[in-house]
A and B are shown apart, each in its own frame.
Chain A
């Protein structure tokens, strides 16, 4: 399981698309199309969240990948709760931006990105589990194998202590420090941005009410009353346009900047987790060193053996981790750039459309005879 000895043709990361989502009671099923890098034939599979979870666990528990602990695993979004069992407020708390958008659009995008990131990863793309995910007709998550070797990192008191453990390497120490600091800032920014989006949605609703109320002002008694009704209808159209603008602007926000911030936050967590795994290994290594030094002669050989093995593991992890971090920095900047550009272009385009529309209304109103 999870072996990467075979050089099976891998899935082309760019071709991965989640094309559809269906809901049956509490279960969501995602339709995923992809192509192998060696062919242009498309394949479509249907997966539930259990399958994604199975994939992630399989990746985490691969047995013969050297320095696997040093890999920054692409973060999988949390399990979706269909509308039958959650309230909007609960969903927002749990998922932030991924809870917004029509028909799970944003959530699907996040899942899609996850698959693309796994498929683009030099090491992970070779995993058998991944190719099984994309080609197996059966749902791979149905037959759950052993759970991941390393449990989900929980912050027990002891773990917290390890997190602060001084590093032997300047590069890693500084990475760990900046990681903590930056991840807090990004979390805060994500929350604040979400607040602005939610307020824009409230504004859209308020505009809707205002616009509808204007329709009720209807009176055709005399010419002045008729004119007044017309004016109110005109205003109603204008307020409706304001409402539509708010909806578009907040859509743009969610689908680009919101998604970017969410992704960035989760990826920083993933990086943090990797660094923590390495730190744990460091603690283990330092313990092995001490044991080896203090060992009684009859145990000395065994302890030295353990020490050597642990040292080797640690070195592997560190070298993988270093590459991963460098790759992470490159990819991260590129991803943020793309999202920022996309967000800016969308908002610019929306502003131009809306400006033209309002200008039209203005001309019409100026020409309105009272």
Chain B
């Protein structure tokens, strides 16, 4: 497999990310290599992949978000987005983006991906403004609107697609709700951390002012315990965020990528071609009775041209349908794997927190009992 790790250092006026890949695949020249990439490089990679694969039904991982504010735009507690936290969030997002991309068997083989991971120099991606995740979303939504406006009644011989689309829409709603719940959780946990630190300080002051020696020591110990617990709260808040919030956010963005709309467009292109072919045939039939041999020849040629287009249209439609089925199957399997991994990591963090708490309380108990 491939392991990607990003680190970052500042260079001049922008942030560069170190991408390290370890692999045993033959696709690459070496087994281990590191390259430096900027955020705009990631967006550039995404735009290339999107333009190549979205319209044939591949679920292309969405570009990392430019803005770091959560999707629900909930103000995350009293924290101001310190640059360290911002950089870490972005680094994590970029890493997840690459992981998802290389986990896709077709995308892994794509020369742009290989070049991105391997080559020391990369041509600078230009005009990436419109290419951020939000930008893609806007483009897709415009396409969707256009399609709806055509009021196509798609003769869905395959109910599978209609059902799947509905399921994905439901899933989108559910995921957004879950995401909002988790953001709320993270927010409150950060609040708890602030409150705990504040209480710890006040307990320390009590310990200092208390005359009774043993009580004073116990109160000071209590202050230390509460400080340690505050630390645990912060770590747990990170776990909540990085494990769940980001996962859910990623998945919402993933399924709004709009593969079903592309299939609609492909279908309508095919239908249009059939309509056109029919017109050409009618035109040719009319010309049979007029005495215009050149025009008749041209009409026959146009018929051939449109027959080919109809065949191509049908092939494209079958291809995208096949691709989507496969992609959806892969998505559903991957989703289960992703969630399982995250849940296990989360449980490990929960167990760790409780075990730390046990240590702290066990250490404090004799101090409390020693008050005489």
Known: A202-B188, A224-B335, A370-B340. 17 other contacts (CB 8 A): A185-B209, A189-B199, A195-B198, A196-B199, A199-B191, A199-B192, A203-B188, A213-B178, A214-B178, A228-B336, A228-B339, A231-B343, A337-B215, A354-B354, A355-B355, A355-B358, A370-B336
Residues B203 and A206 in contact, CB atoms below 8 Å apart? no
Given contacts A224-B333, A224-B336, A362-B347, contact A340 B202 (CB under 8 A): no
Q: Is the CB of B215 within 8 A of A209?
A: no
Report B-chain residues with C-beta under 8 Å of the C-beta of A217. 171, 174, 178
20 intermolecular pairs with C-beta atoms under 8 Å apart: A185-B202, A188-B202, A188-B205, A192-B199, A192-B201, A195-B198, A199-B188, A199-B195, A203-B185, A203-B189, A209-B181, A219-B167, A231-B339, A238-B350, A337-B371, A344-B368, A345-B365, A355-B351, A358-B350, A370-B340
Q: Please determine whether B357 and A351 come into contact, CB atoms closer than 8 angstroms.
A: yes
Q: Report if A224-B361 is in contact (Cβ < 8 Å); known contacts: A203-B189, A214-B178, A362-B344.
A: no
Instruction: List the 5 closest pairs (A to B, CB-CB), nearest first.
Output: A355-B354, A224-B332, A210-B181, A348-B361, A337-B371
- Asked if A185 meets B211 with Cβ closer than 8 Å, knowing A209-B184, A216-B174, A355-B351, the reply is no
Among A186, A206, A227, A355, the residue within 8 A (CB) of B188 is A206
CB 8 Å contact bits of A164-189 with B (1 = contact, 0 = none): 00000000000000100110011011
Cβ contact within 8 Å between B358 and A352: yes
Contacting A at CB under 8 A, from B321-363, are 329, 332-333, 335-337, 339-340, 343-344, 346-348, 350-351, 354-355, 357-358, 361-362
Asked if A45 lies at the interface with its beta carbon under 8 angstroms from chain B, I say: no
Instruction: Name the residue of chain B whose CB is nearest to the CB of A216.
Output: B174
CB distance from B249 to the nearest CB of A (A): 15
- Quick one: which of A199, A206, A228 contacts B335, CB cutoff 8 A? A228
Q: Does A126 reach chain B (CB closer than 8 Å)?
A: no
B contact residues around A189 at 8 Å (CB): 199, 202-203, 205-206
Shortest distance between the CB of B118 and any CB in chain A (Å): 32
Q: Which of B167, B368, B369 has the most CB of A within 10 A?
A: B368
* Chain A nearest CB, measured from B346 CB (Å): 8
CB of A206 within 8 A of CB of B185, answer yes
Q: Is A333 an interface residue (CB 8 A)?
A: yes
Q: In the complex, what residue of chain A is closest to B177 when comparing beta carbons?
A: A213
A109, CB-defined interface residue at 8 Å: no
| B contact set with A: CB distance below 8 Å | 163, 167, 171, 174, 177-178, 181-182, 184-185, 188-189, 191-192, 195-196, 198-199, 201-203, 205-206, 209-212, 214-215, 218, 222, 329, 332-333, 335-337, 339-340, 343-344, 346-348, 350-351, 354-355, 357-358, 361-362, 364-365, 368-369, 371-372
Of B171, B340, B361, which one neighbours A231 at CB under 8 angstroms?
Answer: B340
B360 to chain A, nearest CB (A): 9
Q: How far is the CA of A366 from the CA of B199 in the complex (A)?
A: 38
A235-B215 CB under 8 A given contacts A195-B199, A242-B350, A348-B358: no
Determine the chain A residues whose CB is within 8 A of the CB of B191 once the complex forms.
199, 202
Q: Within 8 Å of chain B (Cβ to Cβ): is A88?
A: no
A200 at the interface (CB under 8 A from B): yes
* Residues 18-44 (chain A) with a chain B CB within 8 angstroms: none
Prevailing SS type, chain A contact patch? helix
**Contacting residues, chain B, for A210 (C-beta < 8 A):** 178, 181-182, 184-185
Contacts of B218 in A (CB 8 A): 337, 340
Contacts known (A206-B184, A336-B215); A192 close to B195, Cβ less than 8 A = yes
What chain A residues lie within 8 Å of B343 (beta carbons)? 231, 234-235, 238, 365
- With A182-B209, A209-B181, A209-B184 given, is the CB distance from A366 to B344 under 8 Å? yes
Measured CB to CB, the closest approach of chain B to A369, in angstroms, equals 10
Chain A residues whose C-beta falls within 8 Å of the C-beta of B188 in the assembled complex: 199, 202-203, 206
In the complex, what distance in Å separates the CA atom of A119 from the CA atom of B243?
56
Q: How far apart are the CA atoms of A16 and B344 in the complex, in Å?
A: 50
Closest B residue to A341 by beta carbon equals B368
Is A216 a contact of B177 with CB atoms below 8 Å?
yes
Interface residues of A in 306-362 (CB under 8 A from B): 329, 333, 336-337, 340-341, 343-345, 347-348, 351-352, 354-355, 358-359, 361-362
When distances are taken between beta carbons in the complex, the residues of chain B under 8 Å from A202 are: 188, 191
Q: Judging by beta carbons under 8 Å apart, are B354 and A351 in contact?
A: yes
Given the complex of chains A and B, what is the CA–CA distance between A333 and B195 in angstroms? 26
CB within 8 A of B192: which of A196, A214, A336? A196
The answer, yes or no, to whether A6 is at the interface (CB within 8 Å) is: no
Complex CA gap A269/B174 in Å reads: 53
Instruction: Give the residues in chain A near B369, CB-CB below 8 Å.
Output: 337, 341
- B contact residues around A225 at 8 Å (CB): 167, 332
CA distance A153 to B365 in the complex (A): 40
Q: Are B371 and A340 in contact (CB under 8 A)?
A: yes
Known interface pairs A185-B202, A206-B184, A361-B347; A195-B195 also in contact (CB < 8 Å) = yes
Q: A3 vs B104: C-alpha distance in the bound complex, in angstroms?
A: 90
Bound complex: CA A355 to CA B195 (Å): 24
**CA separation between A203 and B240, bound complex, in Å?**
12
- Across the interface, do B329 and A329 meet the contact criterion of CB distance under 8 Å? no
Of residues B163, B195, B335, which shows the largest number of chain A Cβ atoms within 10 Å of its Cβ?
B195
Return chain A residues, CB-CB under 8 Å to B332: 222, 224-225, 228
Q: Let me know if A200 and B192 touch, CB within 8 A.
A: yes
